[in-house]
Amino acid sequence: MAKTIYILNGPNLNLLGTREPDIYGSTTLGSIEESCQAFCQTHNVEVVFRQSNEEGELVNWIQEAGVKSDGLILNAGAYTHTSVALHDAIKASGVKTVEVHLSNIFQREEFRHHSFISPVAVGVICGFGAQGYELALSALLTHLNSN
């Protein structure tokens, strides 16, 4: 039976490709989705790929992922640094989560060095641009297959 992975993206990630390309690169979220879909197809994995600027919607999707998926990749954007609600949703749902960031958050402003997601995540991938999503998929699948 194929595994299902949710890939959820937070605020402003819909602007990838045009938003601060010196930090986030020129790859669009649509291109990232296409590469994730292609990766998952070659690994017999179903993927649910979504983006929202709304914290509550992300909470609902995390809860859904806890019921309908084997794992979650989350780029919570700025909510990474502010949202206890996302932390609580991951913890309550029990979904195995990999946190991903396009930029290296530890080379940026100090307020970005703290994550509410990391304590409830299996691992964190940051600083590898769009490639971070495939790295996260690979790491999550390895983790799921070893447990």
For 8-52, the pLDDT digits (tens) are: 999 999 988 877 667 666 789 999 999 999 999 999 999 999 999
pLDDT at 17: 83
Place of tokens 């649509």: 30
Q: Is the predicted pLDDT of residue 92 greater than 80, yes or no?
A: yes
Q: Find tokens 């930090």 and name the residue.
A: 23
Between 15-19, 70-74, 106-110, 123-127, the lowest mean confidence (pLDDT) is in 106-110
Report which of residues 90 and 21 the model is more confident about: 90
Q: Is the separation of the CB atoms in 139 and 98 below 8 Å?
A: yes
Return the SS3 of 92.
Answer: helix
Within 13 Å and on the Cβ side, how many CA atoms surround 20?
7
Amino acid 2: pLDDT: 87
Flag whether pLDDT at 111 surpasses 90. Answer: no
Kindly calculate the radius of gyration of the chain based on its CA atoms and give it in whole angstroms.
14
* Predicted local distance difference test score (pLDDT) of residue 53: 97
What's the N-to-C CA distance of the chain in angstroms?
Answer: 16
Catalytic residues: 24, 101
> Within a 13 Å sphere around the CA of 135, how many CA atoms are in the beta-carbon half?
14
Q: Does pTM top 0.85 for this prediction? A: yes
Domain annotation for the chain: domains and CATH numbers:
3-146 (3.40.50.9100)
Query: What local confidence, expressed as pLDDT, does residue 21 receive?
Result: 65
**Mean pLDDT of all residues in 68-97:** 97
> Average pLDDT of the chain?
92
| pLDDT category of residue 115 using cuts at 50, 70 and 90 | very high
